[in-house]
Amino acid sequence: MKIAFVYDAVYPWIKGGAEKRIYEIGTRLAAGGDEVHLFGIKWWDGEDVIEYDGMVLHGVCAAQELYVNGRRSVSEALVFSLNLVWHMFKEKFDVIDVSVFPYFSCFSIKFVSIIRRTPVVFTWHEVWGEHWYEYMGRMGVFGKLVERMVLVLSSNIVAVSEMTKKDLQSPGPDGKNIRIIPNGMDLKKISAVAQSDENCDVLFVGRLIREKNVDVLLKAVTLVRDDVPDVKCCIIGTGPEKEQLVELAASYGLTNDGNARFFDFMEYDEMIARMKSSKVLVLPSSREGFGMVVVEAFACGVPVLTVAEAHNAAAELVDEVCGFVVELDARAIAGAVRELLGDEELRCSMGKAAIEAGRGYEWDGIVHELRELYEELV
């Protein structure tokens, strides 16, 4: 099959769950004999169209700022979607898979699919709904309206989690055309990585945006420090909140004493090595469409601590056997971290359970299921 993926962010130039999903799926489809194209923003140097890890990457427009004032850029999404139509018309595909957020590209792809008579899969990572008002204030009504319009035009829907499926059903489809195909991880690749020589007690990996609540994690670390003075927290990621978070950590005295260290996004193997040398992964997000880092931690045998927020799908992955789900509160997070750091037997038990829990999320099985869906549509 000739398959096109559409998403403005492209891995590994931009590191996040949606773009990592496309990369992992796309490279495996290509290795299996499919012709895979990815249409995104041109984050790389050189030609607009390049071959990368078996896929053909199309730079639809010049690199843009993804975030402006801490929010996803509307102008970036518009520029990408307007340029997308022309690029998509240059070739004919058997199926197109578009990641829904940030929405405008979905209208372009729907237009192309009607003219070209090409089936489209709409991959939904999360549904914002009322969150638009929190994100944009009164202007959130427009975000909510656009999201609703995309849901109406969506036909073959893939949701990456049960939570996303439920959120889609609430304002829209009855679920008959919604299929859950989750994110995953490469257990074989992760197993081959040796742990880092630099040990870490508490690890966070993710984009540094407001919804990740890293500020709450830093406050929790200050509370843990009262009982464990040499506690080490490693924060891996970049984003619009980074400067503020570094300043906050400094104000708590965490950076001077080495209790908190910040790292930019790093090569995947290095990130996994650091994850393996950690005692607990903490993901205090109020919004997660899935939480890929959770299943990666499972594959590393690392317990996961996340929070019981209504739109945090990562909480669906974690149970009392392989981690903790607590309230989004610094004291609650600190209490669970203390328990894990102070009980090696509990950590080992949870780590073994985490490895077993992760086995159901290997990419090869996920790719097989997704390709079956594509074949049904062609």
Instruction: Say what the pLDDT of residue 257 is.
Output: 79
Calculate ∠ Cα 228-229-235, nearest 5°.
85
Residue 140 or residue 337, greater confidence: 337
pLDDT band of residue 102 (cuts 50, 70, 90) is confident
Question: Within this chain, do residues 99 and 159 fall inside the same structural domain, yes or no?
Answer: yes
Question: Could you tell me the CATH number of the domain that includes residue 326?
Answer: 3.40.50.2000
Question: Within this chain, do residues 103 and 10 fall inside the same structural domain, yes or no?
Answer: yes
Q: Measuring CA to CA, which residue among 9, 8, 22 is closest to residue 370?
A: 22
pLDDT band of residue 143 (cuts 50, 70, 90) is confident
Give the pLDDT mean for 280-301.
96
Type and span of the H or E element at 124: strand 120-124
Question: Within this chain, do residues 252 and 241 fall inside the same structural domain, yes or no?
Answer: yes
Instruction: Say what the pLDDT of residue 340 is.
Output: 95
Spatial distance between the Cα atoms of 347 and 303, rounded to a whole number of angstroms: 7
Question: Within this chain, do residues 204 and 350 fall inside the same structural domain, yes or no?
Answer: yes
Give the pLDDT mean for 331-356.
96
Contact (CB, 8 A) for 309 and 329: no
Question: Within this chain, do residues 372 and 344 fall inside the same structural domain, yes or no?
Answer: no
Spatial distance between the Cα atoms of 294 and 191, rounded to a whole number of angstroms: 16
If one counts the domains in the chain, the total is 2
Both structure tokens of 363 = 């990419």
Q: Measuring CA to CA, which residue among 115, 97, 83 is closest to residue 34?
A: 97
Contact (CB, 8 A) for 346 and 234: no
pTM for this predicted structure: 0.89
Q: Measuring CA to CA, which residue among 113, 125, 129, 184 is closest to residue 158?
A: 125
* DSSP summary character for residue 196: P
pLDDT digits (tens, 9 = 90+) for 205-253: 999 999 999 999 999 999 999 999 999 999 999 999 999 999 999 999 9
Question: Within this chain, do residues 105 and 54 fall inside the same structural domain, yes or no?
Answer: yes
Residue 137: which domain range?
2-184+362-377
Question: Within this chain, do residues 229 and 243 fall inside the same structural domain, yes or no?
Answer: yes
Question: Within this chain, do residues 198 and 177 fall inside the same structural domain, yes or no?
Answer: no
pLDDT band of residue 176 (cuts 50, 70, 90) is low
Question: Within this chain, do residues 300 and 366 fall inside the same structural domain, yes or no?
Answer: no
Instruction: Label residues 208-218 b or e (16+ Cβ within 10 Å = b).
Output: bbbbbbbbbbb
Type and span of the H or E element at 36: strand 35-42
Spatial distance between the Cα atoms of 179 and 157, rounded to a whole number of angstroms: 6
Pairing of the two strands 95-99 and 120-124: parallel
Question: Within this chain, do residues 209 and 238 fall inside the same structural domain, yes or no?
Answer: yes
Partners of 358 in beta bridges: none
Question: Within this chain, do residues 170 and 238 fall inside the same structural domain, yes or no?
Answer: no
Instruction: Say what the pLDDT of residue 130 is.
Output: 80
pLDDT mean across residues, the chain: 93
pLDDT digits (tens, 9 = 90+) for 241-275: 999 999 999 999 998 878 999 999 999 999 999 99
pLDDT band of residue 65 (cuts 50, 70, 90) is confident
Question: Within this chain, do residues 288 and 218 fall inside the same structural domain, yes or no?
Answer: yes
Instruction: Label residues 314-332 b or e (16+ Cβ within 10 Å = b).
Output: bbbbbeeebbbbbebebeb
Contact (CB, 8 A) for 307 and 327: yes
